[in-house]
Amino acid sequence: MPTKDHIQMRDPFVLREDSEGLYYLYGSTDPDIWKAKGIGFDAFRSKDLALWEGPFPAFRPDPDFWSDRNYWAPEVHAYGGRYYMFATFKADGVCRGTQILVSDNPLGPFRPHSDGPVTPREWECLDGTLFVDGDGTPWIVFCHEWVQIKNGTVCALRLSPELDRAIGDPIELFAASEAAWVDPVHSPRHGTGYVTDGPFAYRCDNGELLLLWSSFRQGRYAQAIARSASGGITGPWTQDPEPLYDSDGGHGMIFRTFEGQPMLALHTPNNTPDERPVFIELAETDGRLKVKVKE
């Protein structure tokens, strides 16, 4: 079985399945997610986070599937007795967006659940994640891409209880340039702008709500934290002054091991085909997270 050092993956996401005593690992697993035709998403499973069984073909598109490229950032959430995959897709002439897939097994096969993307059809969007608030209302939190609006944003949108459609209008939570540490990126095709990537909501032990997200600092990918003043998903949000991790890695999420240790999962380095999933122990104190120092 491979170790995670042998798994090429961007945007890693870990699902802890307590009933099985197993961890499931998902991510952007196509060898070239940028230009090549989309293949699908592979999954892996492990008892110890060290050795991983797989790859298992968690999603493969049917011949009539609407998207043929940019298969990015799959997350799998247990919800209502089933498993829901939030994943980014794109096609020629169709805006990139997050569609919701469903399966009765964490290894799939995952099949389309929503009718195409649940993110706004006229927006270039990516990296949708599930957040369920205190009264049980599900939301998708996602990024409105800088390639369309120059100053990328993170937005929230209510979902139906069945997770098959959006309800209402999106709410802008914050823009990339609001974080003092973020530097602009430059692209021959899209010009200059500010990136938002990979939102993930995390509720601290003290009840504070954080939102992980990524951008660029001095040309390197970095992992950051925003904080909700209200404790709810609509904020208002403030930005931590320094990234949590800025060594050319990001698109992170947090999970707890079976022993209760909070772990940051992200990919590093940020260049293809060298990206690998990395798990980093975190220390949490009064709503503050930092990388745990090894003694």
Number of H helices, E strands in the chain: 1, 22
Q: How many domains does the chain have?
A: 1
User: Residue 293's pLDDT is what?
Assistant: 73
Burial class of 250 by CB neighbour count within 10 A (0 to 12, 13 to 18, 19+): buried
Long-range pairs, 24-27, Cβ under 8 A, ≥24? 24/76, 24/106, 24/107, 25/52, 25/54, 25/277, 26/58, 26/74, 26/75, 26/76, 26/85, 27/73, 27/74, 27/267, 27/277
| Separation CA 275–CA 286 (nearest Å) | 32
Tokens of 43: 């999954």
In one-letter notation, the amino acid at residue 291 is: V
User: Residue 295's pLDDT is what?
Assistant: 56
- pTM recorded for the entire structure: 0.97
Strands 10-17 and 138-144: unpaired
> Residues for the chain: how many in total?
295
Q: What is the mean pLDDT of each run of 10 residues along the chain (295 residues)?
A: 95 97 98 94 98 98 97 98 98 97 98 98 98 97 98 98 98 98 95 98 97 97 98 98 97 98 98 97 96 76
Residue 196 lies in domain: 4-291
Who contacts 246 (Cβ-Cβ below 8 Å, separation ≥6)? 181, 217, 220, 222, 223
Domain of 90: which CATH number? 2.115.10.20
User: Residue 274's pLDDT is what?
Assistant: 97
How many whole angstroms from its chain centre is CA 73? 6
